[in-house]
Amino acid sequence: MPHTTRATIESARSVRSSPGSGSIACFTLVELLVVFALISLLAGLLLPVLSRGKMTAQRIQCLGNLRQLSLATQMYWDDNSGNAFSYRLGSTNGGDLYWFGWLARGIEGERAFDRSQGILFPYLGAFGVEVCPSLDYSFAQFKLKASGASYGYGYNLCLSSVPSQPAVKISRITRLSTTALFADAAQVNTFQAPASPDHPMLEEFYYLSTNEATTHFRHQQKANVAFCDGHADLEKPATGSLDPRLPNQWIGRLRPEILVVP
């Protein structure tokens, strides 16, 4: 009897361990740890690739936005005898009218904004090109100007007419392909609540200047720039121009030679 019982047990063991017996194989702890290590390694290799792919897609979408703005501007020039438009167009209805739209006065982050009153809106319609996908509105130190996103691009102030200077004639620009029209823009704010000198904040901004840090080099420390001939490209910040108050945001100036009208 003992012999029979032993044989039966050995036979059962053989069935449980044999291939195709329908039994479920179990992993050892060491095998599981090896699997987890391999998954972690693969994730570590893939995540940077996915991140770079996302940043590239955002940069390409931003370039498309700037090309649309450039195309709309060229149509405006055609309809207005080749005259460039002004950065600011006046005050009305408790707010100010800028090239990008109407912005009410009031508390930062609560101001009404109407982009349909922007000078380029008739040429852009509802394309939705005003916001760069790489401008991080969820950034803890981001300060909205309006109640929501308004505009993430700046206009070359050197093209704008001012009281002492009539509108720039585009026909007199001899280097259209190297004169900036629009670019990624933002500024560091320390003077409007909730920002303060001890609490600098990032905010949207709407012009490019030769002496103010208002260009946002948000595409891996470069900025997308649309030029007067319609093409767009990446630009690095001018040497020594970066604002040290938010060093990780890369707010600075473009090279003056691509802003100044010849």
In terms of residues, how long is the chain?
Answer: 262
User: Given this model, what pLDDT does residue 48 score?
Assistant: 64
Residue 125 confidence class, pLDDT cut points 50, 70, 90: confident
Name the average pLDDT for the chain: 87
User: Given this model, what pLDDT does residue 9 score?
Assistant: 45
Q: Extract the tokens encoding 62.
A: 């931003």
Task: Give the Cα separation of 184 and 180 in Å (integer).
Answer: 11
Q: Residue 135, exposed/middle/buried by CB under 10 A (0-12, 13-18, 19+)?
A: buried
Residue 194: asked if its preceding bond is cis (omega within 30°), the reply is: yes
**38, 46, 129, 223, 262 from 51: Cα distances, Å:** 20, 9, 23, 18, 40
Average pLDDT over residues 30-45: 76
Average pLDDT over residues 190-204: 96
Average pLDDT over residues 45-68: 79
Give the range among 78-92, 151-165, 196-210 with minimum mean pLDDT. 151-165
Contacts of 240-249 spanning 24+ positions with Cβ under 8 A: 241/213, 242/213, 242/217, 243/187, 243/188, 243/213, 245/188, 245/190, 245/200, 246/141, 246/188, 246/200, 246/202, 249/186, 249/188, 249/202, 249/216, 249/218
Residue 30 confidence class, pLDDT cut points 50, 70, 90: confident
Average pLDDT over residues 52-73: 88
Residue 215 contacts residue 254 (beta carbons within 8 Å) = yes
Express as a percent the part of the chain with pLDDT over 90: 70
Tell which wins on pLDDT, 48 or 113: 113
For residue 120, which of 162, 65, 169 has the smallest C-alpha distance?
Answer: 65
Task: Give the Cα separation of 80 and 170 in Å (integer).
Answer: 11
For residue 215, which of 188, 244, 178 has the smallest C-alpha distance?
Answer: 188
Whether 236 shows a pLDDT value over 90: the answer reads yes
Whether 6 shows a pLDDT value over 80: the answer reads no
Whether 167 shows a pLDDT value over 90: the answer reads no
User: Given this model, what pLDDT does residue 164 score?
Assistant: 66
Whether 27 shows a pLDDT value over 80: the answer reads no
Q: Extract the tokens encoding 229.
A: 């001939």
**Token match 């012999």: residue?**
3
User: Given this model, what pLDDT does residue 50 score?
Assistant: 53
For residue 180, which of 114, 251, 232 has the smallest C-alpha distance?
Answer: 232
